[in-house]
């Protein structure tokens, strides 16, 4: 199994952008490659220096992760995210 974790820091109007992110991320839930789907936000009591939101997804293989990366829903999500994204960190690992 491959775990894919992407964290994002969002630009101004953070609360609206966080809500939009969480809502739009739901479009990824139905992709057949996903084995586990989780969208989380940073706790409101946590430092502002933390990332704002994260996607935590599991895949059976790197091939499935690569197929996800090029899926229409993922590409569309990336287009939504581009103008509101300030920073991104990602890790993919086998577990």
The answer to whether residue 23 is domain-embedded is: yes
- Give a yes or no: residue 66 inside a domain: yes
Predicted TM-score (pTM) of the model is 0.93
Mention every residue, 6+ apart, whose C-beta is less than 8 A from residue 18.
10, 41, 52, 53
Q: Cβ atoms within 10 A of the Cβ of 16, count?
A: 11
CA distance 5 to 50: 15
In the chain, the number of structural domains is 1
DSSP-assigned letters across all residues of 18-38: HHHHHHHHGGGTT-TTEEEEE
Cα–Cα–Cα angle for 88, 2, 61, nearest 5°? Answer: 120
Average pLDDT over residues 14-23: 97
In a domain, 6, yes or no: no
pLDDT confidence band for 64 (50 / 70 / 90): very high
């Amino acid at each position: 199994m491959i775990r894919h974790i992407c964290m994002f820091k969002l630009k101004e109007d953070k609360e609206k952008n966080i809500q939009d992110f969480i809502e739009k991320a739901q479009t990824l839930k139905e992709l057949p490659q996903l084995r586990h789907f989780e969208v989380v936000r940073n706790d409101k009591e946590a430092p502002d220096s933390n990332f704002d939101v994260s996607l935590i997804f599991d895949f059976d293989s790197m091939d499935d992760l690569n197929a996800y990366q090029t899926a229409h829903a993922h590409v569309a999500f990336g287009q939504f995210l581009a103008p509101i994204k300030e920073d991104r960190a990602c890790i993919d690992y086998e577990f």
